[in-house]
Each structure stands twice: as C-alpha cells, then as structure tokens.
Structure 1
Amino acid sequence: MVITKEVVIEVTATPLPTQSTVGGGNGNLAYLTEIDEKTSNLILLDLQSNSTQEVNVDETVRKNPSWSPDGKYLAFRMAHETGDRIYLLNHQTNQVTELTNLPLHITAFDWSPDGEQIAFLSTQGEITRGGSLYTFNIEDGTYAEIRQFPDNTRVIVGPNVEWATNNLLYFSVFAWPEEEGKFGLPKIQLFKTDSIGSYEERLSDSRFDYYFPTVSPNMSQIAFYSQAEEDYDILIMDSDGSNYQLLGKGINPIWSKDGSQIAFISNGNPTIINIATGNVAAEVEMFAARSPSWSPDGEQIVFAGKSKESSYYQIYIVGADGNNLTLLTNEPYNHDYPIWQP
C-alpha cells in the first residue's frame, strides 16, 4: 500500500504511566480515553511490554477506530470545523495522514477486505437530511460517490457501513419504511450494494431497527440489535433478510473469528453465546460494559467495563470461556472502543 496524501502529524512516542495489568496476552490494542465531555484521545497499548502511547492530534478523536486488515494502519475519525474527517496512522512509522480533506461530515466508515479502500457514509456540512455512500482509494487519493440517499434518509442517526467482500457492502441508515412513506415510523434500515453502487437492495424488515449490523465471517448471517420496549434484543438473520432468530437481550453483537459465537453486552455483562446451541458460553459480571471486540486468535475479548467500585469505564480482557478477567487500565477517565490489532 502506498499512501500519497501529505503527512500532517508525526506521532511522538510518549509512554504513559504503567497500568495495573495482570497478564494481557500478545499484540496491540487501540482505544479512546475521554479526557472530558468534548475531548477523546487515541491510545495504543502494547500488551507484551505493557507500554502505552498517545497519538498526539489537535482535535478530539471520534468513536470506533479501525485497524486495516493487515494491521499496518489504524483509521480514525477526527473532528474538524467543516465536519469529521478520516485520518490514518501508520503503525510502523508513527505518521498520521489526513485522508479525506473534503467538505463532508463523515459519520461511519469501514475498510475494504483487501485494505486498498475505505467506504464511508457522509452528509454535506450541517445538512441533516439525505447523505451519500462514498468509496475512497487510499493509494491514489481518489473517491467516488457510489450511492446518494433521498431527503427522507438520515446518515447521522445510527449509521453503519461494513465492507463484507471486495464487491459487497452493507450499510444502515435512518429511513422511512417504503410501504408507508412519510406517514410511517422511521427506523434504522439495512441495505446492501456492490463496490460501485450499481444497485441498492433493502434487506430490512420495518418492524425492527438495525443497530450496527455485522456480517458473519462466512457471509451467511447478519447480527444486529433492535429496540424492544424498554430494552434491546439481539437478533440474527440470514444474509438475504430472512429467517430471524432471537438470541437474547443485549447490545453490541460481534462475531467470533470462526463465526461459531457472538459476544455482546447483556444487562451490563459481557456475554458470549454459542450460535449452534443457543447456550451461553461465558458471562462476566460487571456493573456496566460496552464495545466488545475479539482477539485475532478468538481466545479472548476486550471490552470497556465499569466495576461496582469504579466511577469510570476501564479496558478489560477476558478469556472466551469467561476466565482470567484482566484489568488493563486504571485511570480517572472513561475509556472506550477498544479494538485488537489483526
């Protein structure tokens, strides 16, 4: 991969105080630390050396940083006066590059499986209606608007995009049901398209909201969570939008690497369920938790959690069997959106 955009920031290795870590496994984690209500910093944690490094940027970093498939780059959104932009950290050189110097407000993005492009949802500046789906070529810096959404769509409410295969993208946006028009109740709806946007197929059932849908590794099923009276349901369906199954109550579903399990948050507890049997494989008791993510080998999950003794969300890892709960951070800040380097 060749990055042709101008390097705007040089990251300085600034080790932070050692945390109270027990164990931790191998590899690197990225996560956000919320300094105050308006400022979040991007942190890298080396699990082998237990050393942390802050990515020194001038603006607040938004949620959900994302590693490239080969683990060499970390993409993240950063606030800007004209709207959120995507930046890229080269993990080998510690250089940060601005990718999308566009008059757009980017709300969600994902890597292509080959790591050569990024797809993103955006709207124009302060406009809240409509929006578009773009692809961005990292090597030559070109981008293409592959789908444009009508005014009865909102890409700033519950947006999500997942580039499942090199020629298949799934995305969810806030939209009115087709059969009811503007008189219906708007929901977060799920669609799919190809890498050039030559078609758009709606997969969703207007009974549900499709919060942060995620595709199984073999592309056969999609997991999501939906509002259910006073709480949320975790559901899975076939990739064509049929055969709904209720897994349980919770939020933030994420597939294991082999597709046999799903991790999610249920009643504040990180929970792992076996898809074939429907049995709970592990449940970790916490006061509150969010943002689970699997390790590359599928043996652990990392999450942001709050114990009964803590006022802040800290980063934990735990085995896929629910054992060996390990605290990775212990600071007077909220931490969130941990993601394991591939």
Structure 2
Amino acid sequence: MRPVVHVGLRGMLARPMDVSGIVLCAALLVVPRTPGATHQPPPAYTIAFKSFAPNNADIFIADADGTHARPLAPDPALDYDASFSFDGRWIVFTSHRRGQADIYRVRPDGTGLERLTDDPAFDDQGTLSPDGKSLAFVSSRSGQADVWVMDLATHAARAVTSDPAGDFRPAWSPDGRWIAFSSGRSRVRAACPNTTLPGPGPFVTPQYTGVYVVRPNGSRLRRISDSTEVAGTPRWSPDGSRLAFYVGERAQVCRGGLILGTGTTQIVSVDPTSGARDTLTSGDGPKVSPQWLSRTRVGYATREGIAFSDGAPGLAGDFESPAWSPDGRTVVFHRETDRRGDRDRDFQRWPSRDPRFALLRVPDASAFSPEGDRMVYVLTNFAGAVRNGALVLARADGTDRRVIYEGPLTEDMAGPAWSPRGDSILVGVGGFFQRAQFKPGQLMIVRADGSGLKPLMRDSVSVGMPAWSPDGRRVVYRTASGTTRQLYILDVATGERRKLETGSSFDSFPTWSPRGDWIAFTSKRDGDYEIYRIRPDGTGLQRLTHTPGNDAHPSFSPDGEWIAFATARQGFLDEAVQLLLGATFQPYGEIAVMRADGSDAHVVTDNSTEEGAPVWVPRRP
C-alpha cells in the first residue's frame, strides 16, 4: 500500500482485433464479442499506449493477521478491491476477466463465481447491502465516478450521487439506511506551488477528499470529516454508531509526502451524529482502509503490511485494500502477482469503448516504423532513487527486442519518432519535465538498425518531444527553459531553426499531421492543458479541446482523420491518497480520440490506472 496524490495528467509523463500485422503473444487478455455484434467489422485503427496498470493482480484470502494467504478465484486478468458480505457468505470484487472492469462475487471457498455488473463503463469498489439484495459500487457510467446502487434481482441500477469531482469507496451502514463514501466535492482546486512537486504548478492536480454520508435514495447528503483535512476509506462500526476512516493534513498533499508514500495519516473513529472523535492510531506513516473487528478494535493497512489499533502483530507484505470477514477471522486483499518490469512485459490488447479503435498496450512511450513491422520504445530503469533511460528496438509484436542505447544514471529519454522514410529514429536524451533543470535534454538521431547514434542538434536550453514533417525535411520540437515551453521547427538539412509563433509561453507535445498542413500540440494558455492546432507557418491557430481536466499528448492517425490524446476529462476514479493497484500513480486519465477538427471527442479506455503516450500503429501493406 503506497498512498499518493495524483500529479497532472496521466498521459503527460496519460480491446477480434486487426492489429495491422502485429502477432500478439498467447498471454494477451481475451476480449469477448459484444452480444449481438457477430457481424461487427474489424477495427479500422490500432492505438498503442503506455499504462501503469499491473501486469496482473489477484484476490487472496488469509487468516486475520495476513498469514496463510491463498489465491481466491485466480485469473490472468486484474482482480482487486474485494469485500465480504455482511453475512460472510460472499466476497465481492472487481475483475477485468471479461475485458472491462466489472463486479463479481464468489464464495469464500472460491466456488459460485457470479458476474454482478455488465457494462462497458468502469465499475469498481462494490459492496453488498446488509440484506444482500443490493450492490453499492462506483461507476463511470455517467462520465464521472459516482456511487451507484443496483438491485441484484432486477439488475436495475441508479446513481445515488453525482459530482464531477468524483465519489468513491461506498460503505453501507449495518441497518442499510446510510451509505458512507469519500468525495473530492470540497471544490478545492488550488494547484501546488512549483517548489513542492515536480513541474509547474498547474501541472499538479491535487485531490482533497472528505468523508460523507447519504441515504441510498440520494437524500440527506452531509459531510462527516473536517473540511481542513484529507479523509477517506470510511467503514461503519458493527452497531452503526461510529465511522472509522483515515485523516491527514491537507498540506501533505502539496509537500509530496503522500506521493512518495512517506506522508502520515491516522485512523479516527467519529460519531456521525455528534461529531465526537477519537484517534485510534499514532506514529508516522500512512494508514488507510480501516475496518472494525470489534467495538473497540480496528484493522488497517500500512506501507509495511497489516496492523491493528490494539498493537497486535500483523504480517508484513503487500496487502492492498484489505477487508476482514464479519467474524474477524479472515481477511481478503489483492496484490500484484506478476512483477515483471517494462523490459519483460508482454504486449496486451485491451477493451475499447469504441470498436473502430483497437487498443494495444506497449511497455512504454513508443513509435512504429512507417511499414508497421517494427517499433522502438523508451524504457526507464529504476535503481532506488536514481534512474536512467534506454532505447529499445523490436519487432512490432514485441519480439526480437534489443537495447540500442542506454544512457548513464540520471539520463532520461522521451518522445521517440520514426522518420517517414523509415531510415532513422529521433529521441530526446537528457532530463525532461522536473529533471530538465539538472541535465538539459537534447535531440539524438540513430539509424533504424540501431547504429550511428549522434546528436541532431545542440541548444543552450533543454530540447525534446520531436516530431517529423511528412516529407522528412523538418522536425518540430519543444524547448524548455525555466517555466517556459516553446515550439521550434528545424530544417534537418541546413540546421536552420525558427520559432513557431503560437502566442503562448507554455506549449509542448507537438505532432505533425500526415498531410503536413497542421501541427497539433498541448498548451496551458487557458488555465489547464488543452490541445490546439496551428499551421506550420504560424497561422490558423485553433483550440480543439474544451473540457475541464488536462488534455495532452496528441497524435494524428495515419490518414489524418483522427487525433488520439491523453485526457483527464472523466476525473478521478478513486481516492488519490489510496494506492490500490501497485505501480500506478494516478487513478484518472484515459486515452481518447477526436476528429482532426476537435469534433466527436470520446474516451476509448475507462479504468482507474494511468494511461498515456498514445501513438498509432500503421497498417502493414
């Protein structure tokens, strides 16, 4: 368990399938056909992207202290966020085993697996009502994370809450009259100062959740936690007289401690009627996911493992989102079961919200050859607090991988770009984003066979994020100096450079249209990050996205009809201070597409893990 706050946009570091000749390995997720869509044509496009989702996670059941853990209904797909029913006869959990995130239930002995929700949207954090007749859960069916309730007999579902800031972690009161939940609806929107977290202030999107209660019909909503603190993961006491949840100082969000998992939260017990409060824990470090084991004893999760409010020993290890049985004898939780790093990760096809666009998860930010038969991607290697970047060349199916360049420690790589002629690859080498001040980036060029790596150009400021013009004669790239980000165009033959006059001092992620008539890019000139396009001569500036939440990292489809991009328009899908899926840093941000003129914008992914850096896979002849 590693609490975090979510920084910026996931894409800003951000599912039969024709993958344009890519041969996918046997470990890929199986995606079922949509009922009634037996004659659905194959996807017209394939989008490759990076995701921070774990390779796999499974539900485990163990003794109350975490010992004797064993898998419960294991599957190659992601399983997470388990909870017991009030009578202890069922365990409810989220699974991607049919493609999208849906909610299932299973007996504690692993039998009787049953799918409870079946919707293309993201369904998660399910909990059964005390009478076992209803399911409360979080869903993005309305375009944001709201608390929903579904009748298990009729499968009729309705939204209980509605707020663009997101509502999470529902918990039924023992009498079934209330649902407690956490929410970002405090309307706090202040960005963190530049000096406290990586990157410029507006790049940081802090989330300040509080604990609320509401009737199952949506009435009598009120806040329980103090408005000056961060709070979440509420659970009711067995008699319904108190709520336990974590609290922390709001200042920690911007100090960065909660990003690194080094901040401190405490577990409190609150009378929801009078507001009387007791603090049940002490000491440094994050503490989340409390649950009452008796009237006076609470179990919870820490970075180290399971702990108890009475000081009883718990087991060290990874116990993500633990939930105890009503009798307190067993605990369910999830943990990663495939810890291969990016270097060894299999390519995966993912479900798509739009069948026209097939989705291919790749290890990291990537580029494909014009013929679509080869790819290159950036690989970041971590060694404790330091890291370095490597450039990996591979076949388009991920086989025959080899590192063609690996930089020294502290040297990153970003934005590979394959030339239109297919003979060379551009990549940024050095420091990028918050690390640019330590080692400015430069543009390097290497032959497509991996030989002849050399600088394309040198500059007194950090440069990176290159994109070729369709004729291969020019390159558009981004410079970074202090808080300024600007776009320049380089004539490859002559070395002549000129500034692309966009009218802003903060532009990034440029990409050239296949016809050469537009350059799309990201800019924060209007408050948050939005996508614009402009003619290469600096005329015709147009804003393409207009929704709250950052939009970034645009990429033109090979035919120039579409732009793929990373977006935060659906908001947070889980608490920012509760890390639930291992190595993901932000539970919001999706891959989206829009027409080249900005129309028909919609998401094609929908989950609580971080996706970004989309690129298009060319169709092979």
TM bucket normalised to smaller:
0.5 to 0.7
**Given the alignment of the two structures, is residue 235 of structure 1 paired with residue 488 of structure 2, yes or no?**
yes
**Given the alignment of the two structures, is residue 320 of structure 1 paired with residue 320 of structure 2, yes or no?**
no
Partner secondary structure for residue 87 of structure 1: coil
How far apart are residue 198 of structure 1 and its match?
Answer: 4.1
> Is the 2:342–2:379 Cα contact (8 Å) retained in structure 1?
no
Q: Which residue does the alignment assign to 1:111?
A: 368
More strand by share: 1
Partner secondary structure for residue 462 of structure 2: coil
Describe the shift of the 1:53–1:173 C-alpha distance in structure 2 as closer, same or farther (beyond 3 A): farther
Matches within 5 A, 1:190-339: 190-240=443-493, 241-248=495-502, 249-267=506-524, 268-287=529-548, 288-307=550-569, 310-311=571-572, 313=589, 316-322=592-598, 324-328=599-603, 333=608, 336-337=611-612, 338-339=614-615
Q: Which residue does the alignment assign to 2:140?
A: none
> Is the 1:225–1:253 Cα contact (8 Å) retained in structure 2?
yes
Q: Which residue does the alignment assign to 2:422?
A: 166
> Is the 1:159–1:172 Cα contact (8 Å) retained in structure 2?
yes
Describe the shift of the 1:224–1:11 C-alpha distance in structure 2 as closer, same or farther (beyond 3 A): same
Matches within 5 A, 1:3-18: 7-14=25-32
> Is the 2:413–2:427 Cα contact (8 Å) retained in structure 1?
no
Describe the shift of the 1:340–1:136 C-alpha distance in structure 2 as closer, same or farther (beyond 3 A): closer
Partner secondary structure for residue 244 of structure 1: strand
Equivalent residue letter for 1:299: E
Describe the shift of the 1:203–1:154 C-alpha distance in structure 2 as closer, same or farther (beyond 3 A): farther
Distance in 2 separating the partners of 1:114 and 1:131? 26
CA offsets 1:2-34 (integer angstroms, 9 cap, x no match): 95x9x44142224799xxxxxxx9656566777
Equivalent residue letter for 2:498: Y
Equivalent residue letter for 2:513: S
Distance in 1 separating the partners of 2:441 and 2:459? 9
Distance in 2 separating the partners of 1:130 and 1:123? 6
List gaps (5 residues or longer) in structure 2: 1-20, 36-42, 58-76, 79-95, 101-118, 123-337, 351-358, 432-436, 573-587
Distance in 1 separating the partners of 2:446 and 2:405? 9
Structure of larger gyration radius: 2
Distance in 2 separating the partners of 1:317 and 1:97? 15
Distance in 2 separating the partners of 1:305 and 1:123? 23
* Alignment counterpart, residue 84 of structure 1, candidates 331, 343, 352: 343
CA offsets 1:71-111 (integer angstroms, 9 cap, x no match): xxxxxxxx8445533533579xxxx9999xxxxxx765433
Distance in 2 separating the partners of 1:35 and 1:140? 18
How far apart are residue 120 of structure 1 and its match?
Answer: 4.2
Q: Which deviates the most, 138-147 or 228-237?
A: 138-147
CA offsets 1:264-287 (integer angstroms, 9 cap, x no match): 111122101111343304443233
Partner secondary structure for residue 233 of structure 1: strand
Describe the shift of the 1:160–1:261 C-alpha distance in structure 2 as closer, same or farther (beyond 3 A): same
TM-score (norm 2): 0.37
Equivalent residue letter for 1:276: D
Matches within 5 A, 1:110-149: 110-122=367-379, 126=383, 133-137=391-395, 141-147=399-405, 149=407
> Is the 1:154–1:173 Cα contact (8 Å) retained in structure 2?
no
Distance in 1 separating the partners of 2:481 and 2:457? 16
Equivalent residue letter for 1:253: P
Partner secondary structure for residue 84 of structure 1: helix
Partner secondary structure for residue 162 of structure 1: strand
Partner secondary structure for residue 285 of structure 1: coil
**Aligned length, in residue pairs:** 280
Q: Which residue does the alignment assign to 1:178?
A: none
Distance in 1 separating the partners of 2:567 and 2:360? 31
Matches within 5 A, 1:86-105: 86-89=345-348
Matched residues, percent identical? 19
How far apart are residue 202 of structure 1 and its match?
Answer: 1.1
Equivalent residue letter for 1:321: D
List gaps (5 residues or longer) in structure 1: 18-24, 46-50, 55-78, 100-105, 176-183
How far apart are residue 123 of structure 1 and its match?
Answer: 6.9
How far apart are residue 238 of structure 1 and its match?
Answer: 1.7
Describe the shift of the 1:89–1:238 C-alpha distance in structure 2 as closer, same or farther (beyond 3 A): same
Describe the shift of the 1:147–1:314 C-alpha distance in structure 2 as closer, same or farther (beyond 3 A): closer
Distance in 2 separating the partners of 1:310 and 1:119? 31
Equivalent residue letter for 1:173: V
Q: Which residue does the alignment assign to 1:64?
A: none
Q: CA RMSD in A?
A: 4.8
Structure with bigger RCO (C-alpha 8 Å, 6+ apart): 2
> Is the 2:428–2:466 Cα contact (8 Å) retained in structure 1?
yes
* Alignment counterpart, residue 442 of structure 2, candidates 174, 186, 189: 189
Distance in 1 separating the partners of 2:396 and 2:48? 21
Equivalent residue letter for 1:170: L
Describe the shift of the 1:334–1:225 C-alpha distance in structure 2 as closer, same or farther (beyond 3 A): farther
Distance in 2 separating the partners of 1:140 and 1:269? 32
Equivalent residue letter for 1:258: R
> Is the 1:314–1:335 Cα contact (8 Å) retained in structure 2?
yes
> Is the 1:282–1:320 Cα contact (8 Å) retained in structure 2?
no
Distance in 2 separating the partners of 1:124 and 1:303? 25
